[in-house]
Amino acid sequence: MSATVAAETAGRATPSLWRRLPSSPVAMVGLGIVVFWVALAIAAPVLPMPLPNAQDYKAMGHPFGSAAHWLGVDPLGRDLLSRIVWGGRTVLEIAPIAVVIAYAVGCAMGLLAGYYKGWVDAAISRASDVILSFPVVVLYVILIANIGPSPVNIVVAVVLASAPGIARIVRGLVLSLMPQEFVAAAYLRRESDLFVMLVELLPNCRGPLITDFCLRLGYTTITIGTLGFLGLGLPPPNPDWGGMVREATSMITVFPHMSLYPTIALVSLILGFNLLADGITELSQAD
Amino acid sequence: MSLLSIRDLRVEYTTARGTVAAIQDLSLEIGKGESFGLVGESGCGKSTLIMAIMGYMGRNGRVANGEILFEGQNLVRATAAELRRVRGGRIAIVYQEPATALNPSMTIGRQLMEVPIAHANASAASARGQVARVLADVHLPDPDSVMRRYPHQLSGGQKQRVVIAMALLANPALLLLDEPTTGLDVTVEAAVLDLLNELREKYGTALFYISHNLGVIAQVCDRIAVMYAGRLVEDAPAAEIFATPRHPYTRGLLGSLPRPGANKRTHPLVSIPGVVPSAGRAPTSCGFLTRCALAQPGLCDVSPISLDEIATGHLVRCLRWQDAAEPVDRPTAAHLVLADSDVVVQARDMTREFHVGRRRLLANDRLTLAAKRGHVLAIVGESGSGKSTFAKVLAGLDVATGGTLHVLGDDVATRPVRKRGAEKVVAVQMVFQNPDGTLNPSHPVGYPLTRALRKFGIATDRKTIDARVAALFEMVRLPPSLRHALPRQLSGGQKQRIAIARAFAGNPEILVADEPVSALDVSVQAAVINLLLHIQAEQRTTLVFISHDLGLVRYLADEVVVMYLGQVMESGPVAALFDPPYHPYTEALLSAVPVPDPMIRTARIRLEGEIPSPLNVTPGCRFATRCPRKLGPVCDDTPPPVRDAGHDHLIHCHIPLERLRQTEPVFRHAS
């Protein structure tokens, strides 16, 4: 009899999301852009270009692209290409760290709220609502203006602003998973609350969270750029895309390339994250 | 001339794996006013056929060959405009899920009025009149108020009546019904089937009824065709299909249904091994080859087999139909001699009260019942009767608010799983209803088993665990290699087998099964039930089986408890319960069971309306509001006395026992 039952296996294995990624052109374009920036950021120290803070006084007279400075120099004679590459390094360090920490905090909040319901849920959800009721930019400005601009503080601000949104997604998913019978089955095995939350519930939140993770990397990139532009980013002279745009805006009519190149860099990285998120959504809906 | 005539139909789908034939070589005729039934397991192509008739095959489907003649017009070649006139006008369709067939944002009246307005250019006033008339015809009380309501304000049974009314509004010549009663309570199902028979007479509409349940088809159809792997395998008058089935598949379907009078000891169910092959994967000779006990190498696997007329009006696609005339070979069941054993579960006046706003809802009201070691106790009732609540309290997933519940000697009524202690938790395990929710989609299917073995302290080292898991897989007849598969790679029947293996991992003394097979196909149901009973008998486990299906309960139970609105109506040994004296509610439930045998006459007792809200209960008998044998005000005012009919058979009713004894039996052989 077991031979016939073996033939019963109805469905087929679907390969994991990452292996199916090549089948989505959108996701591949997004991934390509992101990988491009990551590669540049990693290779920055060995690339044959001037240091980002080195000033070339001779180039200041003619700040456009040349053999020595491919993309030209900024108002202080610093190499634009170098500053963009090193600026990308900052963004690609701060954004993932901030988002990962935001995820840890947000998932914990969402799991607790959705699992225990009652007053735990009320407390977490109301606190989240308070934070979410602020326009994001206003929230950042208030926070950074008070705690001062630094990489750590940017991470703190991003975590504080993103965790409630993540918590809300996780809470909704947990609420829809709780009535499922595999949760009751876990109780009948005498599993602890923590086990049910982390092993039975959290892995099933994966799908929507992967997409949100990519999108949130994009938002965080925007945030870092915005803070830089508002003068609340990394303290000078560190290269920072938002800061570069700000420093060059007064000369935008004379030397548009000084603000244009960092803007293109910023836009392309955000686009990369968003396309990747779109592609993943498309793949998970095709299941 | 016949109304619908399908000739040599072949429907193909273009998929990533190439072209797949979902329907092949299919011919059938339906006459005016005839009632035609089509049976087969899910995946046989029944719904595809309906879609082909309606011309809804999606972008990747097409009719590759043959014709569908309806009133002389070939629907395969019809233009979009012609099809629009036929659909909803001359041919109407009722789908399985009434909840999704209605637009939730429109009132019932507006949705129904669209039909005469679109098809007959009726004025709003005359459309309204027609709708009110048809709603009265489908026996919806107070049509005017129904028309003002939105779909969510109606019950499932009422919605299905509305959908049927909508289909009838254009006065169609042919009504297609795709499993219209699946998912409804038995009593509601019986009422809908009565309605279809009545409407057929009144409107003269031909019915094309699709179902996987032969019992349901037997109630409605004059002629029945059996479909397997995209082909018709048998086509005969209804009486002949049941009396002299000729195709092994038809016989398999019949063997997997419990018949009245049959039980697990005398007539064990026979399941068909294996599952329906996916479209295009069946053998080209005989599609049923791989699952057929009669298959003969060199004969059956050579060339495609034709559909031959073996008697007037009886067509069979089988070369060995003469050999299939032998009586169905039923295996002998694991015999368990029922000794009078000790009571392991004893509920006394157990109550579970919920608060809805300021009102009290008694999901279980002073429940008293007992289950003996090694016996099967079945708890039956319509949805909303409180049987699942009891199951949850017994398993420790919920707690009682009053009374006692002794499990293996200790009162656990108010002790959930967390407060029960390891031994009690291991002793009571559960199999759930929904095969899709029962396994965590993120983990391999072997994981809950390994985890249970570890948590219950049965095995700690990897080797012992692996051996135990393999043994459990063998026990539920699954290859142990399947343990690394993910739940989505398994069929519903396989998932339920894993759920059973999980429940037995800790050798429980009591197994609670909450409708474990109601979501499965009939043939798979038989296999899972057989498996469950086999393991239960072997390990002398007490099985508490929750079900709404009295046919199944009669087959497998040793003792039965009938519940209604949280209270016990009747309890007793299975043999006593299915013969008079009956509680009037049991009698009504019994008469609603679809019997897969036209030779058995069932008394017609239909309950008015549906199970009322447990928030509005009378101090008297809970069933008084729907009881067809209500005596008078005493039923509303005084709780019914318990009448002892002997041999532990207790009936909670005001009607004296003598009068209950005189009740006509529900099932009679028509001779």
DSSP codes joined into one string, B415-460: --GGGS-HHHHHHEEEE-S-TTTSS-TTS-TTHHHHHHHHHTTS--
Cβ-Cβ contacts under 8 Å, B490 against chain A: 9-11
In a domain, B388, yes or no: no
Q: From the list A1, A189, A204, which residue is nearest B273 (CB)?
A: A1
- Contact criterion met (CB below 8 Å) for B592 and B181: no
In a domain, B497, yes or no: no
How far is A7 from chain B, CA to nearest CA, in Å? 7
Q: Do A189 and B456 touch (CB under 8 A)?
A: yes
Task: In whole angstroms, give the CA distance from residue B73 to residue B53.
Answer: 12
Q: From the list A4, A12, A203, which residue is nearest B273 (CB)?
A: A4
Output the pLDDT for position A4: 34
Q: Is A32 helix (H, G, I), strand (E, B) or coil?
A: helix
Cβ-Cβ contacts under 8 Å, A182 against chain B: 437-440, 448
How far is A193 from chain B, CA to nearest CA, in Å? 10
How far is B264 from chain A, CA to nearest CA, in Å? 21
Cβ-Cβ contacts under 8 Å, B448 against chain A: 182, 185, 189
Boundary residue ending a domain (B290, B308, B332): B332
Q: Do B478 and A203 touch (CB under 8 A)?
A: no
In a domain, B311, yes or no: yes
- Residue B204's CB is within 10 A of a number of other CB atoms, namely 11
In a domain, B488, yes or no: no
Average pLDDT over residues A33-58: 86
Output the pLDDT for position A9: 37
Q: Do A6 and B274 touch (CB under 8 A)?
A: no
Q: Do B455 and A190 touch (CB under 8 A)?
A: yes
B493 touches chain A (CB under 8 A): yes
Q: Do B442 and A204 touch (CB under 8 A)?
A: yes
In a domain, B35, yes or no: yes
Q: From the list B275, B437, B448, which residue is nearest A8 (CB)?
A: B275
In a domain, B239, yes or no: yes
Angle, vertex CA A257, rays to CA A254 and CA A260, nearest 5: 120
Q: Do B490 and A200 touch (CB under 8 A)?
A: no
Task: In whole angstroms, give the CA distance from residue B91 to residue B362.
Answer: 46
How far is A180 from chain B, CA to nearest CA, in Å? 5
Output the pLDDT for position B443: 92
Considering only residues 98 to 157 of chain B, which have any Cβ-Cβ distance to chain A shorter than 8 Å? none
For B56-117, what is the HEC assignment? CCCCCEEEEEEEEEECCEECCCCCHHHHHHHECCCEEEECCCHHHHCCCCCCHHHHHHHHHH
How far is A139 from chain B, CA to nearest CA, in Å? 37
Output the pLDDT for position A257: 85
Cβ-Cβ contacts under 8 Å, A203 against chain B: 440, 442-443
List the CATH number of the domain containing B9: 3.40.50.300
Q: From the list A182, A188, A204, which residue is nearest B395 (CB)?
A: A188
How far is A179 from chain B, CA to nearest CA, in Å? 9
In a domain, B648, yes or no: yes
In a domain, B180, yes or no: no
A147 touches chain B (CB under 8 A): no
- Contact criterion met (CB below 8 Å) for B432 and B413: no
Task: In whole angstroms, give the CA distance from residue A151 to residue A156.
Answer: 9
Q: Do A8 and B456 touch (CB under 8 A)?
A: no
Q: Do B432 and A184 touch (CB under 8 A)?
A: yes
- Residue B441's CB is within 10 A of a number of other CB atoms, namely 15
How far is A13 from chain B, CA to nearest CA, in Å? 6
Task: In whole angstroms, give the CA distance from residue A80 to residue A220.
Answer: 23
**What string of DSSP letters covers A121-155?**
HHHHHHHHHHHHTS-HHHHHHHHHHHH-S-HHHHH
How far is A111 from chain B, CA to nearest CA, in Å? 17
* pTM for this model (two decimals): 0.84
A-B contacts (CB, under 8 Å): 100
Q: Do B440 and A182 touch (CB under 8 A)?
A: yes
Q: How confident is the model at residue A98 (pLDDT cuts 50, 70, 90)?
A: very high
- Contact criterion met (CB below 8 Å) for B446 and B483: yes
B647: domain range? 578-669
- Residue A224's CB is within 10 A of a number of other CB atoms, namely 28
Task: Specify the number of domains making up chain B.
Answer: 2
Q: From the list B433, B455, B491, which residue is nearest A10 (CB)?
A: B491
Domains of chain A, start order: 95-287 (1.10.3720.10)
Contacts of B249 (CB under 8 A, 6+ apart): B226, B228, B233, B234, B272, B288, B291, B292
How far is A156 from chain B, CA to nearest CA, in Å? 32
Mean pLDDT, each 10-residue run in order, chain B (671 residues): 88 82 90 91 85 85 89 88 85 84 91 88 90 87 87 84 88 90 81 86 90 85 91 90 87 82 76 76 80 82 83 85 63 54 91 85 89 92 87 92 91 90 90 89 92 88 91 87 87 88 91 88 84 88 91 89 92 86 89 80 76 77 86 86 87 88 78 55
Average pLDDT over residues A52-64: 77
B490 touches chain A (CB under 8 A): yes
B518 touches chain A (CB under 8 A): no
The DSSP code for B653 is -
Cβ-Cβ contacts under 8 Å, B417 against chain A: 187-188, 190
Tokens at B265, concatenated: 């000891």
Residue B634: HSE in the Cβ half-sphere, 13 Å Cα cutoff: 9
Interface test with B, best of A1, A2, A5 (most B CBs within 10 A): A5
Q: How confident is the model at residue A10 (pLDDT cuts 50, 70, 90)?
A: very low
Determine the angle formed by the axes of helices A151-177 and A118-132, rounding to 10 degrees. Answer: 140
Boundary residue ending a domain (B298, B332, B366): B332
Cβ-Cβ contacts under 8 Å, A17 against chain B: none
Boundary residue ending a domain (B277, B303, B332): B332
A181 touches chain B (CB under 8 A): yes
Q: Is B669 helix (H, G, I), strand (E, B) or coil?
A: strand
